[in-house]
Each structure stands twice: as structure tokens, then as C-alpha cells.
Amino acid sequence: MIADPRRFDHVCIIGGGFSGTLQAINLLRYDGPRATLIERQPAAARGVAYSTTEPAHLLNVRASNMSAFPDEPDHFVTWLAARGISSPQFVSRKIYGDYLAELLRQASRDTPGRLEIRHAAATEINLSPSRAQIVLDNGDRIGADAAVIAIGNLPPIDPPRVVGEDLPDTLYVSNPWSSDIAKGLRDTDSVIIAGTGLTMVDVALSLDAAGFRGKIVAISRHGLLPRGHVDGALPPARLPQRPGARGSDLLHDIRKRAREIGWRDALDEVRPYTQGMWLDASFDQQARFLRHLRPWWDVHRHRLAPEVAARIGAMRESGQLTALAGAFRSCRVSNGEIEIGWRPRGSDALKTDRFARFFNCTGPQGDLLRTRESFLRLLLAGGHIRPDKHRLGIDVNAQAETIDVNGNANPHLLAIGPVTRGAFWEIVAVPDIRVQTWNLARKLSHAHWVGGEGL
């Protein structure tokens, strides 16, 4: 393969969470373009996932598969051992944030003058045929040969029937990762959570760790909770070939294998092929999967650490946590509490209950048409980017180049991480994002043509 003749001397990365941090590190690793990393929070290399200080918030991927580098699979466990940190299968997300932050500091020290970190928010991206200019909220402008959008998951939107309501912060928490979420709650109170996925689990654990012993009610459309890993389990043997492309055949095969080897191994053994299968599937096949199977895929695919699953199970068994299937129908303030009207799934009856606090844990949204990010809205309005066909994020091609409204790819405006889920589907976990950032960094550094892992 011939090296890409384009020359990139400076790349600006918007977002300093896992995706953006690893993109910057890999550019430095491969002696690529100098990089500017833009992160609105005071600390880079954390993002939402790894900025938590709650010890109960554990990684939901085993430490053995959390190396930041696909060409050094033991990098994270070696890092843990070198610091005298015992290496359980699932370590805290805070420790992983420490790991990323140290990698970024080390990469910067090893390549002086090639990385700049700017703590500001990008408000606009101006594009010319071969350049990008990023405007910051402090008025600064940064010129670059390419801009990489690495903003992670877009923030959740307010649940239906809440939008437009003037709810005080003491009753409605739109940001479930804000500090002191249990402040002011009494053990006689009940709280309600919109959503029953991983974000709900975080909030339930935080409330429990803060000493809240009241009732926690979580409602989602199906009422499904994430399943747990099995402690000590080994990775399954890799399938000799990719499963069939049809969703019905895949479902049949996984169910058959689940009876033979257990559902966890049956799902994990197709894991190396899922991204390719998604890329090859037709729009209709993808849409059917999203419409009928996505909730069950998510709770089985994105699992909890065994300790977390056990704690959530104990909270449910004691009655402290209840998960229900239903839909919100109304929301209003009544006598200092929040009154929620909701309809149980499969019923026409409307139930009304009062709660001391309402947490939005509906999870990240990907619909660009509903985003509040100013630079994304301006790029959309200018036709420079477009939503993917399922409205899960930004439309990109296989090289992470954004696609404009006319279907043209832009090699000077790229996107990585969860915002590219519509194109790749499996691009929200560390094992997938590290490969994507690695490949892009090598391409921008003209190292990709050498080929092979472990360069």
C-alpha cells in the first residue's frame, strides 16, 4: 500500500476524554503531526466515565483487556503491577483515569513541544478546502490541517413529558454525574430514575454509597437491567469464521451456542466480527436490529463487574431498588415533591406517584438534530456534516472522515469514538476505540502503510 500523500503538520482534537486523549497519545507515539487537545474540563484524560471518584464505580471490561494500545495488550496490567496495585479482574474507573492521565503526561514529556492542551470549549469550526480553524469560547482561534471530533457520548436529553417543565435542581437532576446527588435526601424518601441501564447503576451505587436508604424506582421502556460478568471466566475460543449476515440467522446461532457453552461465551465469541457484520449489513437489516434487538443486546453485551452486579442484586432483593417497564406520561411539582404519571408496559392504566428527586439516566443520545453543542449545530447548518442514517451520531466513512450533506468525505474533518456509532456500532468500549484511534493516528502519521500490529 502506498502512503497517503497528504501532509498533516498540525491536528486539533476536540475533546479530551478517552477517545481524544488516546488520539493525541498515538499521534505522538508515531511521530505524527503536532497536536492540540481541547478539553473544556479542568483535567484532560478523564471524560465522564473516568472522572468519578466513587470506588464502587468499576470498569465493566476486565483489566486484561483494558490496555490503551492494541499493539501492547498487557500494557495496563503491567502498569498496575509496576505501581503495586493489586490487579483484580475489574478495577475502579478512577484508577483507569489515573492510567490515562499518566500516559498523556508521559507522552508529552517524551515529545517536548509537540502537544498543547487547551482548557476551553470549541464553539465553532470554520473549514476551507485543506484547513480547519477552531474557535474557542475564550475567543482564541486555532488553525490546523485537520480537526478530530472526539467528544464522546452526547449528553442525554430530558425524558418525554419533562421537556419544558420548570423543575428546580433540587427535584430534577439532568446530570446524573453531578456531585452530592444524595444531598438533602432522607431515608423516608423515594427517588425515581428514568432509565435502567449503566447510568442508572452508577446513580444507584452512588446513592447507596452516600448512605441513602430510601426507595429507588427505575423505569425504562422494557425495564431491563445490565447483566453481570462471571468472575474468573476465561475468554472463549475464537470462531473459525464470521457468522452469517442475516440477523435472524445470527440470533438462531447465538441461542444455539448459548445452550451449548452459556450465553456469555456465545455472545463473546462473535465479538471480533460484530463491527464488520454491521458495516456489511443493509440499512433495513440494521434498522430491524435496532428496532427489535437493541435493548437485549445492550444489557447482555455491556455487562457489570461481578461485584457491581452482586450489589445491585442485593439492593433489588431488599426492595431498596425496583426496576419497572413503562413510559412517562406526566411530570409536575406538587407540595415540594415531583409527581410522576407513568403507564406500565402492556397496560392502559395510568399510575401516579410522588418522589423527592428525579434523575435522568436515559443514557447518551446521538441524534445530531437535538444536540446543544454549538459547533456541531453550525457544522450541520453549513452542510459540513450530516447525521448517520440511523441518527446515532455523525456520519463517517471507514477512515473516520466525516461525510457532508452531499455525501462527500472530508479528510480534514474527522470523528472518532461513540459519535461514530452509526457507522461502526461497536465503538463505545475501550477495545474498539483504541483500535480506531490507533489506525487514524498511523494514517495521519503516514505509518499505516507499513501494516501489521505491533509496529
- Residues 28-66 pLDDT 10s: 999 999 999 999 998 899 888 898 888 889 999 999 999
- Looking at residue 449, its pLDDT comes to 46
Residues 243 and 271: beta-carbon distance below 8 Å: no
How far apart CA 151 and CA 13 sit, in angstroms, is 9
Domain residue extents for the chain: 10-155+365-450, 172-227+303-360, 247-301
- Looking at residue 126, its pLDDT comes to 96
User: How many CB atoms are closer than 10 A to CB 301?
Assistant: 17
- Dig out the grid coordinates for 445 from the structure: 502519521
- Looking at residue 19, its pLDDT comes to 96
- Looking at residue 450, its pLDDT comes to 45
- Looking at residue 366, its pLDDT comes to 84
CATH superfamily of 10-155+365-450: FAD/NAD(P)-binding domain (3.50.50.60)
How far apart CA 361 and CA 72 sit, in angstroms, is 35
Fold of 172-227+303-360: FAD/NAD(P)-binding domain (3.50.50)
Termini Cα distance of the chain: 16
Residues 11 and 27: beta-carbon distance below 8 Å: yes
- Looking at residue 401, its pLDDT comes to 97
- Dig out the grid coordinates for 260 from the structure: 451449548
- Tell me if 10-155+365-450 shares its fold with 172-227+303-360: yes
Residues 230 and 201: beta-carbon distance below 8 Å: no
Q: What is the dihedral of CA 48, 52, 56, 60, to 10 degrees?
A: 30
List the chain pLDDT tens, one digit each, 455 residues. Answer: 334 446 789 999 999 999 999 999 999 999 999 999 999 998 899 888 898 888 889 999 999 999 999 999 999 999 999 999 876 789 999 999 999 999 999 999 999 999 999 999 999 999 999 999 999 999 999 999 999 999 998 888 887 766 556 788 889 998 777 668 899 999 999 999 999 999 999 999 999 999 999 999 999 999 999 999 998 766 666 777 777 667 677 788 888 888 988 999 888 888 888 898 899 899 999 999 999 889 999 999 999 999 999 999 999 999 999 999 999 998 888 888 999 999 999 999 999 999 999 999 998 888 898 888 999 999 999 999 999 999 999 999 999 999 999 999 999 999 999 999 999 999 999 999 999 999 999 999 876 544 444 33
